[in-house]
Amino acid sequence: MEKVLDIQNLHATFTIQKKDYEVLHDISFSINRNETVCVVGESGCGKSVTTLCIMQLLPNNGKIQSGKIVLDGTDLTQVNRKEIRKYRGKKMGMIFQEPMTALNPLLTIGYQMRESIMLHRGLKKKEANELAISYLQKVGIANPESRLKQYPFQLSGGLRQRILIAMVLSVQPDLLIADEPTTALDVTIQKQVLTLLNDLKKDMNAGILFITHDLGVVAEIADRVVVLYAGRKVEEGTTEQIFKNPKHPYTIGLMNAVPNVDLDEFEIRPIPGTFPNITEDIPGCRFNPRCPRAHECPLCVKEAPETVEVEPGHLVACHLAK
C-alpha cells in the first residue's frame, strides 16, 4: 500500500522559562491511502501537538528536535517556512475542532472557498465558484448557491463543520487531518460527519489522521489506532486488535472508563491518579504512577519500556507485554 504520511522517531520540545521539556518522544506511525488512523489519549497526551508538527504550525516556544515527517516522499522537517505554505492546503488539509474559529466571520463562505481553490488549484473565479458549489453538494448541503453568500455566523455548527470539510476537500489534499472535528456537534450531526468522512476518503483516495478522545468515534471510523500517553506511543494496532485485545494497562484503562449502557447497572471506572505535567521527571515508564500492574515488574519504575510487536501489526510499549 502507498504511504501518504510516514512519521519516524519524532521528538519535539516546548521551551518554558529557558528550559526545554519534551512533549513528544520517539513517535512513529504511518498512514496509507484510503486509510483512517485515529490517535487517542487524554487531553495533554500529545495528540494536537503531533498535528501541529505535521502542519509545521508549532508555537514559537515549540521545536522539532529530531525525526522525520515524510509526506508523499518529502520530509517536511527539511522544508523552510516559505516553502511549507505550498504543502498546506494543497497536499495536506486540516479540519479544526471548532469551525467558527477556522472560518473568518467577516468574509462570506463563497469568498473563503473561492480563495482557497484559486490559490491551490489555479482556477479562475467562475470555475472556483462552480467547484465550491459541487463540493457543498457532496457534503450534503442544500441550496449551495445561497450558502456561498452567507457569513459563518448565519449558519449552525453542523453546517459550518460541513463547509469546512468541503473547503478542505475541494483542494483535494492527499492527507486530511481532523482534530476532534465532531466534539462540538450533537450526536446526530456527529454521525453524519463521520459517515461523510468515510465516504469522501474512498472517493479522494486520501489518508485521514483523526484526533479524538472518544472511543465510540474510534470504533466508527478507524482502520488503525495509535494510543498516546504523556507524549509517548504506548500502543498501536488495528481497530479490532485494540478493542478486542488491548495490551497496555493505559489502553485497558481507557476502555474500562467507558460505561456500558447495555447493562442494567453500570459504573464508570476512571483511571486512578492524575495526568503528569510535562515538567515532571518520572523515572521508568511514564504511566507507572497510575498503573495498577506496576508492582508486578521492578523495571517499570527504573527503565522506559521498549516497543515490542506482540502480534503482526500490534505494537506495545510495556515491560509486561513481553
Do residues 22 and 76 both lie within one domain? yes
| Residue 29: per-residue pLDDT | 97
Residue 5 has pLDDT above 70, yes or no: yes
- The answer to whether residue 108 sits within a structural domain is yes
At which of 172, 201, 229 does a domain end?
Answer: 172
pLDDT digits (tens, 9 = 90+) for 27-79: 999 999 999 999 999 988 999 999 999 999 999 999 999 999 999 999 999 99
Q: What CATH number should be reported for the domain holding residue 260?
A: 3.40.50.300
∠69-234-297 over CA atoms, to 5°?
A: 145
Residue 187 sits in the same domain as residue 263 = yes
Look at the alpha carbons of 171, 135, 181, 119 in this order and tell me if their dihedral is positive or negative: positive
pLDDT over 70 for what percent of the chain? 97
96 in any annotated domain: no
Please tell me whether residues 206 and 299 are part of one structural domain.
Answer: yes
Q: Are residues 232 and 188 in the same domain?
A: yes
pLDDT given at position 37: 96
Mind listing the pLDDT tens digit for each residue in 132-163?
999 998 888 889 999 999 999 999 888 888 89
What is the number of domains present in the chain? 2
Given 172, 202, 217, which residue is the final one in a domain?
172
pLDDT of residue 65: 96
Contacts with 10 (C-beta within 8 Å, 6 or more apart), sequence order: 24, 26, 27, 28, 50, 53, 64, 66, 67, 68, 69
Is the pLDDT confidence value at 296 over 80? yes
121 and 16 in a common domain = no
Single out the residue of 2, 5, 1 nearest to residue 175, CA to CA. Answer: 5
**pTM of the predicted model as reported, rounded to 2 decimal places:** 0.91
Q: Are 164 and 95 in contact (CB under 8 A)?
A: yes
Q: Is residue 97 part of a domain?
A: no
Q: What is the pLDDT of residue 106?
A: 93
* Residue 83 sits in the same domain as residue 109: no
Q: Are residues 63 and 185 located together in one domain of the fold?
A: yes
Tens of pLDDT, residues 245-291: 999 999 999 998 887 766 666 677 888 888 898 888 899 999 999 99
Q: What is the predicted pLDDT for the residue at 261?
A: 66
Q: Report pLDDT for 263.
A: 66
Residue 281 counted as domain residue: yes
Domain match, 156 and 240 both: no
* pLDDT value for 264: 66
Q: Which three cell numbers stand for residue 68?
A: 522525520
Answer yes or no: do 73 and 214 share one domain: yes
DSSP 109-132: HHHHHHHHHHHHH---HHHHHHHH
**Average pLDDT over the chain, rounded to whole?**
90
Residue 296 lies in a domain: yes
Q: Which of these three, 172, 203, 226, is where a domain ends?
A: 172
Beta-bridge partner residues of 309: 315
What domain range is 56 assigned to?
A: 3-91+175-315
- 207-250 pLDDT, tens per residue? 999 999 888 889 889 999 999 999 999 999 999 999 999 999 99
